[in-house]
Chains A and B, each alone.
Chain A
Amino acid sequence: MKADAPVKLIFEYEGREATCRLLPADDSAPMDLAAVLGSENLRPAPPEIPNLAENQVVRHYTGLSGKNYGVDNGPYPLGSCTMKYNPKVHEDLAALPGFAGVHPLQIPETTQGCLELLAELEKQLCMICGVDRMTFQPAAGAHGELTGLLLMRAWHLSRNDHKRRTIIIPDTAHGTNPASAAMVGFEIREIRSGPDGMVDLDALEEALDDETAGLMLTCPNTLGLFEKDIRRIADRVHEAGGLLYYDGANINAILMQARPGDMGFDIVHLNLHKSFSSPHGGGGPGAGPIGVASFLEPFLPVPVVSSTADGRLFLDEQRPLSIGRVRGFHASFSVLIRAYAYILANGTGGMREVSESAVANARYLQSRLSRAFDMPYKTPCMHEFVLSAGNLKPYGVSAMDVAKRLIDYGFHPPTVYFPLTVKEAMMIEPTESEDRESLDALAEAFLAIAHEAKTQPELLHMAPHNTPVSRPDELRAARQPVLRG
């Protein structure tokens, strides 16, 4: 089937009346469902879902998959998303029946292998981050932020410091930072970045007071720049009585080169689906574990893995100072299996090679593109960099046009219009997964597009040209919402 052939909704196929052959026969005593469930509790008619043959369903989803671009197709330079390769063996390991078939509430005698994996992964991640303990409760990065901020709140309240109401966030931060802080009831104080794209120490000084609960920071920041004053920033926040939260979105840049804990961060979140190679899944499932310095350990969510005197592992739920539970059950366990396998496959040397290659690739690409686009910050980048398509404005071409045209060249577009501090921003993160040949191909495509912008801007406005659909009418989607079939 051609990739651009439309695929109807699964509900639009014509089913047929047939017994489902995927289930065992009912060999228990025959009973009337109405008698079991109560006739008043019954659904009057079954849900409207067609009865299809397996091959129809398989062809449907195979057709859908053909309309997606994945990491195995080619470069996926989405800034801040770290779209690295997802090793194939991980999928087999996560599917081992000894992992995938374990019920979360089994007695610990029957889950020692799962608990061992949690304990071992915690050890490895603590070494990578320079922290003392981790929780695997958070289901995603934003969920990790929420959890970390709840820890901050709990810590201040435990010291009877009730006026700590403010979270300081740089203007280059991800949108989840202020949104998470708001969900914990904090007020947000946004501080401007300096002309060099880094935290402006004067602005920070102005924002700090005895109401400061803490600072949320990504380092390297979303511009791909390492905060040169990080030590000073940490000291000032701590002196003011606040805590430091590390948004781990960009830790791929510094894996085993430097550690957030050593920089002075008290709480560190990791996106295992970014830096530790677990797949993004088209938008989840992820995992956003957080690590903390020892003084915050008593507040961690329940449960945490502990061991008895004779070395048996169990999930400890009895923690009186805990902020409580932030999700059902324990963790996004199968995501953790993949991250653990990734660390084991790499070791310390391998992790250092990951970060070194990620930075080398970004810097090379930045250098190749610097002639064709505006470069708002001249500081050498780490794992990603931000360009502006502002120089194409005179030709009526936007960052979005460049991004869409890149699709025609066979690449996934970069992140656009973020961070908000850069006009016509294009945020590019090649990751360590690309070789020089593909970096060159990507660079050539960008350069060709920059040229096309000046000679045939219409080509860019109408891009992409070769995809199953062209640009959608987003206004119509929002104004006349059709949200189900």
Chain B
Amino acid sequence: MAGFVPSNRELRAQMLSDAGLPPPERLFDSVPQDLRLDYPDGCPQLDGPLNEPDLINRLRAMADRNLPAADHICFLGAGAYDHYQPAAIRHLLLRQEFYTSYTPYQPEVSQGTLQGIFEFQSLVCRMTDLDIANSSMYDGATAAAEALLMACRATGRNRIIVADTVHPHTREVIATYLPPNGGIVDVLPADPDGSWAGALANQPPDEQTAAVLVQSPNFFGLIEDLPAIAELAHQAGALAIAGCDLLSLAVLKTPGQAGMDIAVGDAQSLGLPLSFGGPYAGYLAARQSLLRRMPGRICGETVDRHGRRTFVLTIQAREQHIRREKATSNICTNQALCALAVTMQAALLGANGLVEAAGQSARKAAALRQALCETGWFLPVHDRPFFREFAVRMNPESWPETTCTDLNRYLAAQGVIGGLDLAGPAAGSAIPGGWLLAVTEKRRQSDMDCLIDLIGAYRRDRGWKS
């Protein structure tokens, strides 16, 4: 007998009786009788109880119905990437002192968590070249929305300009978060060549603009001209906000170097499993002057009574538990354990490994795009530098009545996870026949050859010319 409740009815009755308290059956007397569930007859029947082996079997059976991308050949990205997580991370995260503890309100017994947060903040600052970072946000999409709210407060303005090449989920979250706060969102399409800096120059921000938000690498993997965008924003007195995948910054010009005021993004690519969409961790970094506008927890270094280095949650006068409705955000939970995993991944890879993982992803993606276009079955969509991810589209002459989803179904049956169908609902503004593929350091040349061979086989099965 294990279970998770160390007492039983008899022990509880004894305990209550020893204290002179009414018996267990009267514990819920303060709940009006007509609201109490009548057990067992009038009580809904949950599944279970299951013993541990049966529980494992039940969930394993469910897991077995999936085709997990991470264990197969995966070319799917679009905001979540199949990078390698070293084994040591999971072993370290399973230390109960990390995973079972609460938000570090009692610093004397939480220095492990607090230093972990401080290191995450330091990592984000080192990756982005910005001055300050918070302890993490729910994910990249909510971090972007919170950054825009922060920009509205900081500037006293309420219009924001968002690039249409920002991840569609991020744009949707912004559309949910901003209007109830009086924010007005203008989505500005990129120029036909995929450049957003050019589009912004033609339709520049004005004195009502609180911020411009651009993502780089953008949803299609393209690298945006951040310095030009920052300059256009600053000319109008608006803040420049960049959405950047954290791993990409190992090799790409940083938001800080580009003159951006705030950087946000998802850290999933750096240490977190795909897990069907979460939990991941968002980050939010900014210039020093924006410190008191920041949402979320911030950890700082100080000393204890004996002058020893000590970490503590600080600058809390921004937060909900003190300011209530005047807080900079309602967020209290961050993604502490995910942020810890991210820092561990960076520590395990080191600068060399980070550059290697990011560099290999970029090079292998470039190689695959070239190989796909050389078949003639696919056409390029953009002609600009890209990182890890790129769009192609089906050559209409080669693909009668076929969608990328059809192709993805065929590939999945062969154990290959294809790219995102850009004509589908997850893609935002649709590109007919468009296919968004990501390549990480996990992919070998043989995986890419396999993809092209399978596409060839799909075509041969249909009697189409190769």
Q: Does A194 contact B (CB under 8 A)?
A: no
Residues of B within 8 A of A481 (CB): 291, 300, 314-315
Q: Are A225 and B30 in contact (CB under 8 A)?
A: yes
Q: When chains A and B are docked, how far (Å) is the Cα of A360 from the Cα of B28?
A: 10
When the two chains form the complex, which single residue of A6, A29, A95 contacts B308, counting CB atoms closer than 8 Å?
Answer: A6
Q: Mark A50-91, 1 if CB is under 8 A from B, else 0.
A: 111010011011101111111111001010010111110101
Q: In the bound complex, do residue A23 and residue B366 qualify as a contact, i.e. CB atoms below 8 Å apart?
A: no
Question: Among residues 306 to 336 in chain B, which have CB atoms less than 8 Å away from a CB atom of chain A?
Answer: 306, 308-312, 314-317, 319-327, 329-336
Query: Is B102's CB under 8 angstroms from A46's CB?
Result: no
Determine, out of B191-199, B202-210, B250-258, B374-382, the stretch whose residues face the partner at the interface.
B250-258
Closest to B52 in A: A89
Chain A CB within 8 A of B16 CB: yes
User: A468 at the A/B interface (Cβ < 8 Å)?
Assistant: yes
Judging by beta carbons under 8 Å apart, are A98 and B302 in contact?
no
- Given A47-B126, A64-B116, A179-B323, answer yes or no on A357-B104 (Cβ-Cβ < 8 Å): no
Q: Which of A268-326 contact B (CB under 8 A)?
A: 273, 277, 279-287, 301-302, 317-318, 323-326
B103 touches A283 (CB 8 A): yes
Asked if residues B441 and A24 are in contact (CB atoms below 8 Å), the reply is yes
Given A33-B251, A328-B139, A364-B19, A24 and B94 contact (CB-CB distance below 8 Å):
no
Shortest Cβ distance from residue A348 to the other chain B in the assembled complex, whole angstroms: 5
A333 CB-CB contact with B under 8 Å: yes
Interface residues as binary, B14-44 with A (CB distance below 8 Å gives 1, 0 otherwise):
0110011100100111111001110110011
Q: Is the CB of B176 within 8 A of A49?
A: no
Task: List, in ascending order, chain A residues with CB within 8 A of B385's CB.
Answer: 36-38, 41
Q: Does A243 interact with chain B (Cβ within 8 Å)?
A: no
- A344 and B49 in contact, given A66-B112, A258-B35, A329-B277 (Cβ under 8 angstroms): yes
- Contact pick for B409, options A89, A98, A109, CB 8 Å: A109
Q: Which of B118-164 contact A (CB under 8 A)?
A: 118-119, 121-123, 125-127, 131-133, 135-136, 138-142, 149
Chain B neighbourhood of A277, CB < 8 A = 4
The answer to whether A433 and B20 touch (CB under 8 A), given A341-B55, A344-B55, is no
When distances are taken between beta carbons in the complex, the residues of chain A under 8 Å from B300 are 477-478, 481-483
A185 and B92 form a contact (CB under 8 A) = no
B330 touches A145 (CB 8 A): yes
Q: Is the CB of A282 within 8 A of B49?
A: no
Residues of A within 8 A of B425 (CB): 317-318
> In whole angstroms, what is the CA distance A360 to B24 when docked?
7
**Nearest-CB distance from A398 to chain B (Å)?**
15
Q: Are B122 and A484 in contact (CB under 8 A)?
A: yes
Q: Would A49 and B351 count as touching, CB distance under 8 A?
A: yes
Contact A23 B360 (CB under 8 A): yes
Q: Which residue of A lies closest to B425 (CB)?
A: A317
Query: How many chain-B residues does the 8 Å CB contact rule pick out?
Result: 209
Q: Are B50 and A73 in contact (CB under 8 A)?
A: no
Q: Do the beta carbons of B417 and A103 come within 8 Å of each other?
A: yes
Task: Return the contact of B48 from the options A326, A343, A469 (Cβ within 8 A).
Answer: A343
Q: Are B35 and A24 in contact (CB under 8 A)?
A: no
Q: Do B303 and A476 touch across chains, with their CB atoms under 8 A apart?
A: yes
**Beta-carbon contact of A139 and B279 below 8 Å:** yes
Provide the bound-state CA to CA distance between A265 and B364, in Å. 54
Residues in chain A near residue B445, CB distance under 8 A:
27-28
Complex Cα spacing A470 to B312, Å = 12
Given contacts A96-B63, A175-B327, A176-B320, contact A37 B126 (CB under 8 A): no
Contacting residues, chain A, for B60 (C-beta < 8 A) = 96, 98
Q: Decide if B37 touches A474 in the complex (CB within 8 Å).
A: no
A contact residues around B437 at 8 Å (CB): none
Query: Which A202-232 residues sit within 8 Å CB-CB of chain B?
Result: 225-226, 228, 230-231
A363 to chain B, nearest CB (A): 6
* A132 → B minimal CB distance (Å): 13
Question: What is the minimal beta-carbon distance from B275 to any residue of chain A, in angstroms?
Answer: 5
Residues on B with beta carbons closer than 8 Å to the beta carbon of A98: 60, 62-66, 68
Neighbouring A residues of B127 by C-beta, 8 Å = 47
Is B108 in contact with A469, judged by CB distance below 8 angstroms?
Answer: yes
B58 — which chain A residues lie within 8 A by C-beta? 344
- Closest chain B residue to A438 by CB distance? B6
Least CB distance from B355 to A in Å reads 5
When the two chains form the complex, which single residue of B20, B121, B441 contacts A483, counting CB atoms closer than 8 Å? B121
Chain B CB count within 10 A is highest, among A9, A10, A105, for: A105
Chain A residues with Cβ below 8 Å from B132 are 483-484
- Are B336 and A436 in contact, CB atoms less than 8 angstroms apart? no
Task: Kindly report which residue of chain A lies nearest to residue B68, judged by CB atoms.
Answer: A101
- Interface flags for A1-25 (1: CB within 8 Å of B; 0: not) read 0000011011100010111101110
The residue of chain B having its C-beta at the shortest distance from the C-beta of A81 within the complex is B102
Chain A residues whose C-beta falls within 8 Å of the C-beta of B173 in the assembled complex? 324-328
Per the bound structure, the CA–CA distance linking A472 and B303 in Å amounts to 6
Among A273, A332, A468, which residue has its beta carbon within 8 angstroms of that of B108?
Answer: A468
Q: Is the pair A46, B176 in contact by a Cβ cutoff of 8 Å?
A: no
Question: Hey, what's the 0/1 contact readout for A117-144 against B, CB within 8 Å counting as 1?
Answer: 1001000100110000000000111110
- Which of A6, A68, A127, A228 makes the CB contact (< 8 A) with B113? A68
Please tell me if the beta carbons of A99 and B40 are within 8 angstroms of each other in the complex.
no
- List residues of B (44-85) whose CB comes within 8 Å of A's CBs: 44-50, 52, 55-56, 58-71, 74, 76, 78-80, 82, 84
**What are the 9 closest A-B residue pairs judged by CB atoms, nearest first?**
A98-B63, A329-B277, A101-B68, A20-B353, A101-B70, A281-B337, A104-B277, A285-B279, A113-B65
10 CB-based A-B contacts, threshold 8 Å: A7-B115, A28-B445, A51-B351, A93-B59, A98-B68, A102-B69, A105-B76, A287-B279, A331-B276, A478-B314
